[in-house]
Structure 1
């Protein structure tokens, strides 16, 4: 009241009384104003501290995740950032609750609302909502062999052959996926039965995400034709019974129309009377050049069909031509051979008996006929008065083979060369076990390999094989003649 000097009040604060929450309190402030003369006035003031301001924070408004990502991974959904409170430096932590999911456009897609809440020490609350979208944009994965090679008769639709799809996997869901395929146009291969084409495999998940892979399927033909006909690949026959060449049928795994069959035959026949082999070979080749070779080996027992001619000549009868003694129709391209080297046979088959001593001369003429030999044996006896010379064992000719098969050769077991000697021929035939199977006195060259009545079975012919003879020439003074011979009844 006495001065215009500006006065300045001062204050002191009393001890704070805690409030209802951590950020609230109250205290008494005492104000004092003193004038120039020390007159003092005091007043008290109650100051209440309150916290009514909510904290603040930031969260992404919208988050889109792939269906295989963890929606609870806050590094993916966007963690709360910029948390702040006006009254405290204490770190605040937001919490969230998720609403009911709304289905999306496909099975693996959806969306839901996530509500974030941040509360300060005095219960002031801030909330924010966040939309989380779950999507499926990742295609499934699978494995299929890149290249498959099949034989032409295998089923290209058999997935156990072409390589089924494996390792099917989708990032969303445990649903079993099944791949489908389409085949492209085939490209012809190197031959008729070969080709290749592209198979495109497709795998689609529940949301239409698609993965494709291509596979090259090669069709090849590496299998040779197989023999259908029955064929005896190895057997033995007499040369006069060689069977005709059979016509063989083959089949192929891919195509029977294009099989080509070629035939080739070789033999070891030398014309010397020895046994030989005929090798028949068929080669069946399919459209792709695959070949099967079938061999048939025929072991041939050589026969020599002998025609015996015995002639008497006086030394003065003139030139003898051996071709005159051949049967009609005999091949004349052969050569006469004399068993006596003293006889000179001319190229036309003639010789002059005047150059020879008296006695018996034997000439042979052998030709080949379909693998068998045909021999004409001419015995010429030279004398000076046409007197018949005495017979010897060398002049007796006995069969080496009997083949009663209906042709004109070797139908009977024969003992020739006795007609001019007045011998009586007795014959005994034995099998390899020593048993007599035929016996005849005064034999007339009329046994054709008939089986005895005691033989087993219904066949009237003896089986093929080697047998043995004993020929006794009664009234000859000669020892019995023995030896083997062959019977072929087939």
Structure 2
């Protein structure tokens, strides 16, 4: 007899039979026995997973162990996760699929569905600013743990912001509410910021650079916000403001020896560079406060003309 292995412990056994009588007559025959592995691996791990959870309690994906009683070889293992969540559902379904395959091609598939209920966790914060304190970058107010890929939402009617910049000079005194929401597995995490704008301003001495506030963005689109590039806190001290604006190639696109907070993204023909409205992008300023004794101030300014 002989044994021919096909996969795992399966294969074929052929048995040859030969008989002879006393007269020397001989007869022979054979029989073939086939051993075939048709059963997939068996799940050994105790699977105890919930079917319904809130988004903050989604369990970790367990590592499952399988065994195969017809194979001494390693089992191939795959895992797949799918979700019906699109960003708007109050309930959605996560599906986990484990597939274990032995060397004979037999597979065992374990599927588990988890129904997830979404929630919105709100974190409140309050800050107070004087209307003369300059622009507020709302992204700087986010606590640790929040990414900065989303947009702020204005909850107070009648105002708008651009790129997360809130300018107290553009609004009346009072409270203004902004929200910032991120999404993780259907859980909404919202940071709700209330900004109180008041007139409790601290007057800094004229010899301090902290007194000078310079625009970070200019968006001359007619909405009344960030229409011009502003240098505030200099006129009260009697300083004459000299301004030069450059593009990313170092060309001067605007300059003034007595700036009056009136640049709205236009490059006049007297400048080095093309005349007319400038394209969107980041530009760079150098501000000199004449006869102030202060060093020149330089930095980037974003221009959004659309």
Match of 1:320 in 2: 136
**In 1, Cα distance between the equivalents of 2:181 and 2:129?**
23
**In 1, Cα distance between the equivalents of 2:72 and 2:97?**
20
Alpha-carbon distance change, 333 to 211 in structure 1, aligned in 2, over 3 angstroms:
same
Deviation per residue, 1:221-251 (Å, 9 max, x gap): 2211121222135522233322222221212
Name the SS of the counterpart of 2:153 in structure 1. Answer: strand
TM-score w.r.t. the length of structure 1 is 0.36
How far apart are 1:263 and its partner, in Å?
Answer: 1.8
Q: How does 1:283-298 map to 2 (within 5 A)?
A: 283-298=99-114
Name the SS of the counterpart of 2:179 in structure 1. Answer: strand
Match of 1:241 in 2: 57
TM-score w.r.t. the length of structure 2 is 0.55
Q: How does 1:24-423 map to 2 (within 5 A)?
A: 184-189=1-6, 191-202=7-18, 210-232=26-48, 234-255=50-71, 257-272=73-88, 274-340=90-156, 342-347=158-163, 349-357=164-172, 359-369=174-184, 372-382=187-197
How far apart are 1:294 and its partner, in Å?
Answer: 0.6
Alpha-carbon distance change, 213 to 317 in structure 1, aligned in 2, over 3 angstroms:
same
Alpha-carbon distance change, 370 to 233 in structure 1, aligned in 2, over 3 angstroms:
closer
How far apart are 1:268 and its partner, in Å?
Answer: 3.2
Unaligned runs of 5+ in 2: 202-306
How far apart are 1:329 and its partner, in Å?
Answer: 4.3
- Which of structures 1 and 2 has the bigger CA Rg? 1
**In 2, Cα distance between the equivalents of 1:338 and 1:274?**
23
How far apart are 1:285 and its partner, in Å?
Answer: 0.6
Deviation per residue, 1:279-310 (Å, 9 max, x gap): 22111010111111111222223233221013
Match of 2:219 in 1: none
Unaligned runs of 5+ in 1: 1-183, 387-490
Name the SS of the counterpart of 1:324 in structure 2. Answer: helix
Deviation per residue, 1:451-488 (Å, 9 max, x gap): xxxxxxxxxxxxxxxxxxxxxxxxxxxxxxxxxxxxxx
How far apart are 1:187 and its partner, in Å?
Answer: 2.2
Are the counterparts in 2 of residues 273 and 304 from structure 1 also a CA contact under 8 Å? no
How far apart are 1:196 and its partner, in Å?
Answer: 1.9
Match of 2:281 in 1: none
The one of the two structures with greater contact order (alpha-carbon pairs below 8 A, sep at least 6) is: 2
Deviation per residue, 1:432-453 (Å, 9 max, x gap): xxxxxxxxxxxxxxxxxxxxxx
Deviation per residue, 1:20-76 (Å, 9 max, x gap): xxxxxxxxxxxxxxxxxxxxxxxxxxxxxxxxxxxxxxxxxxxxxxxxxxxxxxxxx
